[in-house]
Amino acid sequence: MKSARLFIALAMVHFAVGVTLGGLMAVDASLWGPLSPIHAELNPFGWLTMLIYGMTYAVLASFGNFRPLPPRAAWAHLLCAETGVVTIALGAGLSLSGLVEMGWLFQALVPLLFLRNILWIIRSRQSVSADRPSEASTVVSGNGVNDNGLLTPAAYAGSTDRVAQRGTSLALLCWIAAAVWMAVYVLRSSGPITTDMPVGVQALVYYGWIAGTVMAVSLHLLPRFAGKACVGPKQGRLIQMMWIAGVMLASIPSEPGGVVGRIGYGLIGLALVWNASLYVWQMRRDWFHRLGPTSGAAWFASWCFSWALGARLVWGGDPLSLVSLHLMFLGWITTLVYGVGYTLFPRVLHRNVRYGWVSPVQMTMSLIGAVVMPLGFSLMDRGSVAGPDILAVGGVFAGLGALSFIAIWSALKREGGAA
């Protein structure tokens, strides 16, 4: 759990820097050139990928009889991941190709270390004595809730856990392929900065690794938070097949806007629309009561953003445009992180938000920014003179929402007795 908390803490640091740079660029377009390469590294790799690592370790520690990861393995993964992010960000910002090359070598190693650690943790379950249940699996109430506040896996033996596990494995394979591809690409092309990633790598990273992991983790977490699933096993399998087929087609090198790529992103869009529709439809009733008003609003809003992104892809919108990427990163995934955070972070970080007005204000600012920023980019694409001003307003609200979220969890005192 210590390594999980450290991954999450570093992700928050990267998030704070990334959103600050994003806000500055939204207010002053002249900063796009020097700051965008750093922003492009910190958002997917420093923020979301590091958060995925930390929350995966935390979830595994909470859901079953797993032995703790050996400290050397955890530290090797953490140091390698942080070195990759910092080195690439510095190299991209200073236009030093050597640093970028070194950073991508580290970053190509990171998902392999992550895979090795996950396999070790899962296999360790077999060696844990059945007569020594872990703290996480101890049932303390009649409905299968453990003392971490999460429903035990046994309570959902027939749910989508296997689908989710396969989804996380496929997403990780996408990340391994993308990281190795990019490392080779950088070494062979004299170190281009991260914004020059081939479109195939971007498809694997954005829509394979990050989007796939978020969909899979949602299948794991929501039933355990709310006591009810939104996606059934059969639908989950079909959505997953459509998603991975789309990612494979979208990652095939071809001319920009080629037929194969359009088909691939169309399949991804259909998968996102189908998946998000299930969440939105099921969550329209009593989910705010089940999850709490702030967390419930974040979950609901995040899947609305996911639906909008999917519809845009089906309609033929550019999947790698700033509109699409901000719908994904800022609207869908970061909003979902807020919703998960208000439910999971009290158990992982052993801190609890006790002020009723703080989290709704933070969530309101974030949602305004998540709506307004893609709108501003869209207007700018159409040549509207109002686009830059609207983008600036969205950037300020998104930045304030993100920084206040970080400040909330940083300012809270840790509750005693937690490991």
pTM: 0.87
Query: pLDDT 10s per residue in the chain (419 long)?
Result: 677 889 988 999 999 999 999 989 988 888 888 888 899 889 899 999 999 998 888 777 665 566 777 888 989 999 999 999 999 999 888 878 888 889 999 999 999 999 998 888 777 665 544 444 444 344 334 344 444 445 454 445 456 778 888 999 999 999 999 999 988 888 877 544 444 688 899 999 999 999 999 999 888 888 777 777 788 888 999 999 999 999 999 999 876 678 999 999 999 999 999 999 999 988 877 777 778 888 888 999 999 999 999 999 999 999 999 999 999 999 999 999 998 888 877 766 666 776 678 889 999 999 999 999 999 999 999 999 899 999 999 999 999 999 999 888 776 665 544 43
Nearest to 7 by CA among 63, 45, 64, 62: 45
Q: Which amino acid is at 307?
A: W
Q: What is the DSSP letter of 192?
A: -
| Residue 65 pLDDT | 61
Half-sphere exposure of 51 (CA within 13 A, CB side): 26
| Residue 300 pLDDT | 92
| Residue 126 pLDDT | 53
CA dihedral 366, 368, 373, 376 (to 10 degrees): -170
Please give the radius of gyration of the chain, using alpha carbons only, rounded to the nearest integer: 20
